[in-house]
């Protein structure tokens, strides 16, 4: 079953069950997909790769926002929880990447291998990791961890 079809079935189920959080996130993804299809120059197919790219982009934006809401403390707690649900729910349609602990090990190994110690070398370390582990790691997480380790 294609991702597009799965999302449609999930939406029907969410509507029947009165599951507003699930309904809202599926509709948001469908809106993002419609936007991508109507973008100037789009001529591709709307296959699973297309939907993975759309969902991946959406998840990346929501995860970044979630971190910003978490930094607000109690004021952003409710919105951070909503965004965490969306990221977790949509994660099932994305390729699996290493978790934060495993990514940190990769980062530490790359820093040691390159002999990096200055925060100005963060770009070089991130580039090295992304070339060797591109499909295994989340680029945003790698960037954040590298900068944290080099500070």
Total Cβ atoms within 10 A of residue 69: 19
Coil, strand or helix: which one is 94? coil
Mean pLDDT for all residues in the chain: 90
pLDDT confidence of 33, banded at 50, 70, 90?
Answer: very high
pLDDT at 68 over 80: yes
pLDDT over 70, % of the chain: 100
Pick the CATH number of 100-150 from 1.10.10.60, 2.60.40.10, 1.10.10.410, 2.60.40.420: 1.10.10.410
Instruction: State mean pLDDT over 60-89.
Output: 92
pLDDT confidence of 10, banded at 50, 70, 90?
Answer: very high
pLDDT at 41: 84
């Amino acid at each position: 079953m294609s991702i597009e079809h799965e999302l449609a079935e999930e939406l029907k189920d969410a509507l029947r069950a009165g599951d507003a959080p699930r309904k809202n996130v599926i509709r948001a993804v469908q809106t993002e997909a419609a936007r991508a299809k109507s973008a100037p120059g789009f001529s591709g197919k709307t296959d699973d790769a297309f939907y993975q790219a759309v969902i991946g982009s959406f998840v990346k934006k929501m995860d970044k926002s979630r971190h910003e809401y978490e930094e607000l403390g109690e004021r952003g707690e409710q919105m951070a929880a909503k965004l965490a649900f969306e990221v977790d729910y949509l994660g099932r349609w994305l390729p699996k990447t290493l978790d934060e602990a495993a990514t940190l090990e990769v980062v530490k190994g790359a820093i040691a291998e390159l002999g990096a110690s200055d925060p100005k070398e963060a770009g070089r370390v991130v580039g090295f990791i992304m070339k060797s582990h591109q499909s295994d790691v989340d680029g945003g997480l790698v960037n954040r961890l590298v900068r944290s380790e080099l500070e």
